[in-house]
């Protein structure tokens, strides 16, 4: 390991408060902290108690005040509409002030909650920053969520207003948002005072003025003409910046609460030290603002660090082809790209020989970061071969808000170990324990936990649910945060995240990782992506079952491929895996953020009741999986509830 990383990590270990106090120098504070860390506040302590600041000021105003107003802040690129636009920091400030004025004129102020239910358009980013400017708490809900899911989030945070759009765009279709918004408001117990609706050219929606609907575009333009100033509202560092509801929730949603001060300090530090980007360079997180990646690394992280950030309305394939990412990288001179492994697997499936890579000048790209779903070694190797740059797996969660383990490009890259997101970042003392909470040795599979206190930038609790947060995340392993991920740490401190703890199966008394089996399946040259689940077995308790998506150009008999993969798993993991069942499917069920819905697949296979996941990308895929299972005589399948 390079001394740069070791020195940095040791500096944090030796004096965590001094470490984060130094990191906080990168942020403008209206009032300094009275305590860097107060262990008596909140659920496990609070960072930068007593300090006052404003996140919008740090993302926008201070760059303008520093003379960088003409520099590019936001690049909007929409292959869905053909629109492209660059916004300077000056222009970004004007847009944010106009929306802040609209919200202020409608009674939105410090502490009020605003739900943002929008597609990937610039006004979504402006609205997030405008809420931060006023000290209001935003809660972004992925555009296109069903009305019931939107209503539960409006209710849970008691939203005073909703900001939405007339529609979103998917390849080949327009998705009307307004009917879903109207139905959600009708369902919600808490009725927002106002619904601000951005009318898009692709679909104009009728407004229900009697229900508080406001034409958002017209209101913004009116404020631009008036040019009223809206200063940044000072807020406490410990005040909430946003509430983000975790994907896949059913019933009472879990709202992850992020504060202002610690969030800014952690993200600013990560941009320089983990991602290795300098102010003025272009950073692109190919995600959605509805997910934590969009919050941290489309909006807040890059703007805090003075980078230009890319807002992309499109897909990795189909808008128009598997080369769209490389067109964006080349055209906008992206230095660092961050996306999900599932995006790369989709690209690899459509372009297995990498023909589209060679159509564009990618010489400016320095690194690709992957997170959000386990990055199998074969996908990483394929991306390395095509891009000829470091491909860096890193690991974090909605709850943490920034990486727990990574290979830090800004501190000097460490040797790569395929299958590992490398090492713990400063702030995270990562350990592996058994189910009783006892530490396990290097290379032993167990529960991954993080010693308390969590560093700045992590969730402070669930919205209005401290006890639920403690019970869910802190009580099972006292003194630790439970990640609910399973894995191991080797004798060189590299972390290996193998699966969610629910994805560890018990086969004839052996604890086996489905993630390890997926790695082996992905080694086969004909496999584009795969999923392995554990299904109930009367004799062994559980046995693994594999689902394979093959590359587009495969013409061989699938039965031969299935036999080869069974043998491959036997060779690599051993007969103990009892891996005998492999099915070829057209596609895998996923959330809109790209996570494979293994838990739902498992319930279908076991014949257990299941609910349609709120975040599913295409519900029809579950019917396809059900049909494949039935053809293989796997289970009696109950209907979804």
**Least reliable range by pLDDT among 216-225, 446-455, 509-518:** 509-518
- In tens, the pLDDT along 456-511 reads 999 999 999 999 999 999 999 999 999 999 999 999 999 999 877 666 676 765 66
Among 320, 316, 376, 387, which residue's Cα sits nearest to residue 349?
316
What confidence category does residue 641 fall into, taking pLDDT thresholds of 50, 70 and 90? very low
What is the spatial distance between Cα 96 and Cα 230, in angstroms, rounded to a whole number?
9
Among 240, 285, 287, 288, which residue's Cα sits nearest to residue 138?
240
Among 483, 598, 458, which residue's Cα sits nearest to residue 542?
598
What is the spatial distance between Cα 430 and Cα 405, in angstroms, rounded to a whole number?
9
Rg of the chain's alpha carbons, rounded to an integer? Answer: 24
Q: Cis link prior to 320 (omega < 30° from 0)?
A: yes
> From its phi and psi, is residue 45 left (phi > 0), alpha (psi between -120 and 50) or beta?
left
Residues 6+ apart with CB under 8 A from 17: 36, 37
In sequence order, what DSSP letters do the residues of 322-370 get, joined into one string? TTHHHHHHHHHTEEEEEE-HHHHHHHHHH-TT-TTGGGS--TT--EEEE
What is the spatial distance between Cα 166 and Cα 177, in angstroms, rounded to a whole number?
5
Cβ pair 114, 139 in contact under 8 A:
yes
Report the predicted TM-score, pTM, of the whole model to 2 decimal places.
0.85
> For residue 250, what pLDDT is reported?
41
Please state the domain extents for the chain: 3-314+394-487, 508-631
The domain 3-314+394-487 having CATH identifier 3.90.76.10: the answer here is no
| Domain 3-314+394-487 and domain 508-631 have a common topology | no
Structure tokens at 33: 């902290």
> For residue 249, what pLDDT is reported?
37
Q: Is the pLDDT of residue 540 over 80?
A: no
> For residue 3, what pLDDT is reported?
60
Cα–Cα distances in angstroms (integers) from residue 368 to residues 304, 316, 409, 519, 619, in the given order: 21, 14, 10, 20, 31
- In tens, the pLDDT along 381-422 reads 999 999 999 999 999 999 999 999 999 999 999 999 999 999
Q: Is the pLDDT of residue 377 over 60?
A: yes
Beta 391-393 vs 255-259: how paired, if at all? unpaired
What is the spatial distance between Cα 569 and Cα 544, in angstroms, rounded to a whole number?
11
- In tens, the pLDDT along 586-615 reads 999 988 777 888 888 988 988 888 888 877
Tell me the three state secondary structure of residue 218.
helix
- In tens, the pLDDT along 65-97 reads 999 999 999 999 999 999 999 999 999 999 999
> For residue 36, what pLDDT is reported?
98
- In tens, the pLDDT along 235-251 reads 999 999 999 998 543 45
- In tens, the pLDDT along 554-577 reads 989 999 999 999 999 888 776 777
Cα–Cα distances in angstroms (integers) from residue 508 to residues 533, 543, 574, in the given order: 15, 9, 14
> For residue 296, what pLDDT is reported?
98
- Computed over every residue of the chain, the mean pLDDT equals 93
- In tens, the pLDDT along 40-69 reads 999 999 999 999 999 999 999 999 999 999
Tell me the three state secondary structure of residue 263.
helix
Looking up tokens 């692709």 gives 202
> For residue 148, what pLDDT is reported?
84
The domain 508-631 having CATH identifier 3.30.300.30: the answer here is yes
- In tens, the pLDDT along 309-346 reads 999 999 999 999 999 999 999 999 999 999 988 899 88
Q: Cis link prior to 428 (omega < 30° from 0)?
A: no
What is the spatial distance between Cα 452 and Cα 627, in angstroms, rounded to a whole number?
46
Cβ pair 306, 280 in contact under 8 A:
yes
């Amino acid at each position: 390991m390079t001394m740069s990383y070791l020195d940095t990590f040791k500096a944090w270990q030796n004096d965590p408060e001094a470490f984060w106090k130094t990191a906080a120098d990168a942020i403008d504070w209206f009032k300094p902290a009275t305590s860097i860390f107060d262990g008596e506040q909140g659920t496990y302590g609070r960072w930068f108690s007593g300090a006052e600041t404003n996140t919008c000021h740090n993302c926008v105003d201070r760059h303008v005040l520093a003379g960088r107003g003409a520099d590019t802040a936001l690049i909007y690129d929409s292959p869905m509409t053909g629109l492209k636009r660059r916004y300077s920091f000056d222009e970004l400030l004007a847009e944010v002030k106009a929306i802040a004025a609209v919200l202020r004129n409608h009674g939105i102020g410090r502490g009020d909650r605003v739900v943002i239910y929008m597609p990937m358009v610039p006004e979504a980013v402006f609205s997030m920053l405008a809420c931060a400017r006023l000290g209001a708490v935003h809660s972004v809900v992925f555009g296109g969520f069903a009305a019931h899911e939107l209503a539960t989030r409006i209710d849970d945070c008691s939203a005073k207003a909703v900001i939405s759009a007339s529609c979103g765009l998917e390849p080949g279709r327009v998705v009307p948002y307004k009917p879903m918004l109207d139905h959600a408001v009708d369902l919600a117990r808490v009725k927002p005072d106002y619904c601000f609706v951005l009318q898009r050219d692709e679909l104009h929606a009728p407004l229900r003025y009697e229900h508080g609907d406001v034409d958002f575009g017209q209101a913004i333009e009116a404020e631009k003409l008036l040019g009223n100033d809206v200063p940044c509202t000072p807020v406490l560092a410990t005040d909430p910046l946003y509430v983000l509801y975790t994907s896949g929730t059913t019933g009472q949603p879990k709202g992850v609460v992020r504060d202002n001060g610690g969030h800014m300090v952690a993200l600013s530090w990560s941009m320089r030290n983990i991602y290795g980007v300098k102010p003025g360079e272009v950073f692109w997180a190919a995600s959605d603002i509805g997910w934590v990646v969009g919050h941290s690394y489309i909006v807040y992280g890059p703007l805090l660090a003075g980078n230009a950030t890319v807002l992309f309305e499109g897909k990795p394939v189909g808008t128009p082809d598997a080369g769209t990412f490389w067109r964006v990288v080349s055209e906008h001179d992206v230095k660092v790209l961050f996306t999900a492994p599932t995006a790369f697997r989709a690209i690899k499936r459509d372009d297995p020989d990498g023909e589209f890579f060679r159509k564009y000048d990618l010489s400016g790209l320095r690194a690709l970061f992957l997170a959000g779903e386990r990055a199998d070694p074969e996908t990483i190797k394929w991306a390395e071969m095509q891009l000829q740059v470091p491909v860096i797996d890193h690991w974090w969660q909605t709850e943490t808000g920034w990486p727990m383990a990574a290979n830090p490009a800004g501190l000097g890259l460490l040797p790569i170990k395929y299958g590992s997101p490398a090492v713990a970042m400063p702030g995270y003392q990562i350990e592996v324990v058994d189910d009783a909470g006892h530490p396990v040795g290097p290379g032993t599979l167990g529960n991954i936990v993080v010693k308390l206190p969590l560093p700045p930038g992590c969730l402070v609790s669930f919205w209005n649910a401290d006890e639920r947060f403690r019970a869910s995340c802190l009580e099972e392993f006292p003194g630790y945060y439970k990640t609910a991920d399973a894995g191991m740490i080797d004798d060189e401190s590299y972390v290996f995240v193998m699966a969610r703890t629910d994805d560890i199966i018990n086969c004839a008394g052996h604890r086996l990782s489905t993630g390890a089996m997926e790695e082996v399946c992905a080694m086969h040259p004909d496999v584009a992506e795969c999923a392995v689940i554990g299904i109930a077995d009367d004799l062994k308790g559980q046995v693994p079952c594999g689902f394979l998506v093959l590359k587009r150009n495969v013409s061989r008999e699938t039965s031969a491929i299935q036999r080869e993969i069974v043998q491959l798993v036997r060779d690599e993991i051993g007969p103990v895996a009892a891996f005998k069942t492999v099915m070829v499917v057209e596609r895998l069920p996923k959330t809109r953020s790209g996570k494979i819905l293994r838990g739902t697949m498992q319930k279908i296979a076991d014949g257990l009741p299941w609910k349609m996941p709120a975040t599913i990308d295409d519900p029809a895929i579950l019917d396809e999986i059900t049909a494949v299972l039935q053809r293989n005589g796997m289970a009696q399948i109950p209907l979804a509830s």
